[in-house]
Amino acid sequence: MKKTLLAFLLNGLIFICFGQTVQYKTVTGIHYYSDSINQSDNYIQSQCVLDLYYPEGLKNFPTIVWFHGGGLTSGRKEIPEALMGKGFGIIGVGYRLYPKVKCPAYISDAAASVAWVFNNIGRFGGDSSLLFLSGHSAGGYLTMMIGLDKKWLSGFNLDANRIAGLIPFSGQAITHFTIRKERGISDKQPVIDEFAPLYHVRADAPPLLLITGDRELELLGRYEENAYLMRMMKLTGHNETRLYELDGYGHGMTEPAFPLLIQEVRRLVARKGGAAK
């Protein structure tokens, strides 16, 4: 870990927030697996890293863990510009991709990255009780899997109910089409099994805000999957599931969704009595 810290790249950004000058720093290339795991697998060593953007000197800030999209086959870690300078820490996560790995490697990676944040964000001034998961498309799928199926974080001795909120963008609620592809199943053949967020509906899950594009412009049934997930969550007794459909936007609906994410984080932080502005 000390060797990794020496390799961090620090970039400063000055932001004026409520009369206070806040300097933001970016720390890149943090390995979220242990040194022994990294040394045993070159792909993990290169791919399973995260970038941390945080307000230096601001105490007890909330953190958004952001999983990139790309169908579990492409994409790269990113810190969305729309989330920068808002008083949050932001984590951009890299994870392994198909076909170099198959299910559930990418879900395991997502869980490992979240575990790292829970265990380490306090060193940078963040509040681990104000940890939010979000992401677009495949990233939304990973957000829901980690937040709804408690087994992934339990492997790191963490309770998924510690997550402050789940805000997936156009995430797949049934078994992901890439996982079905791995099995030789068409992307038009719906499957709901242990790798479907829908399979893990439960009343005690963290607050869940589902955001999709227009049902007529989205990918195959994406809005309807999320609508069904909302309905089933409510039937199980989960009273904090909501769904926003962004009329006129297709699957690439992140631009109008980011303000909704920011609004939701601030709402939940205020309810918890946190320090976010």
Rounded-to-integer distance, Cα 90 and Cα 113, Å: 13
Query: Residue 126: beta bridge partners?
Result: 61
Written as one string, the DSSP assignment of 90-143 is EEEE----TTTS-TTHHHHHHHHHHHHHHHHGGGGTEEEEEEEEEEETHHHHHH
Show the domain range for 23.
2-272
Q: For the chain, what is the domain count?
A: 1
pLDDT per residue over 107-157, tens digit each?
999 999 999 999 999 999 999 999 999 999 999 999 999 999 999 999 999
- pLDDT grade for 276, boundaries at 50, 70 and 90: low
Residue 36: the pLDDT is: 96
CATH number for position 20: 3.40.50.1820
pLDDT per residue over 60-109, tens digit each?
999 999 999 999 999 999 999 999 999 999 999 999 999 999 999 999 99
Enter the pTM of the model. Answer: 0.92
pLDDT per residue over 152-194, tens digit each?
999 999 999 999 999 999 999 999 999 999 999 999 999 999 9
Residue 7: the pLDDT is: 35
The verdict on residue 106 lying in a domain is yes
237, pLDDT greater than 60 = yes
The verdict on residue 277 lying in a domain is no
Phi, psi (degrees; rounded to nearest 5) at 60 = 60, 35
> For residues 65 and 133, is the Cβ–Cβ distance under 8 A?
yes
pLDDT per residue over 10-35, tens digit each?
333 434 444 468 899 999 999 999 99
Residue 273: the pLDDT is: 84
The verdict on residue 247 lying in a domain is yes
Which residues, 6 or more positions from 46, have their beta carbon under 8 angstroms from its beta carbon? none
- pLDDT grade for 274, boundaries at 50, 70 and 90: low
> For residues 61 and 126, is the Cβ–Cβ distance under 8 A?
yes
Rounded-to-integer distance, Cα 107 and Cα 95, Å: 8
The verdict on residue 235 lying in a domain is yes
Residue 10: the pLDDT is: 36
Q: CA geometry: angle at 114 spanning 60 and 272, to 5°? A: 35
Number of H helices, E strands in the chain: 9, 9
Residue 21: the pLDDT is: 80
Helix (H, G, I), strand (E, B) or coil at 54: strand
The verdict on residue 59 lying in a domain is yes
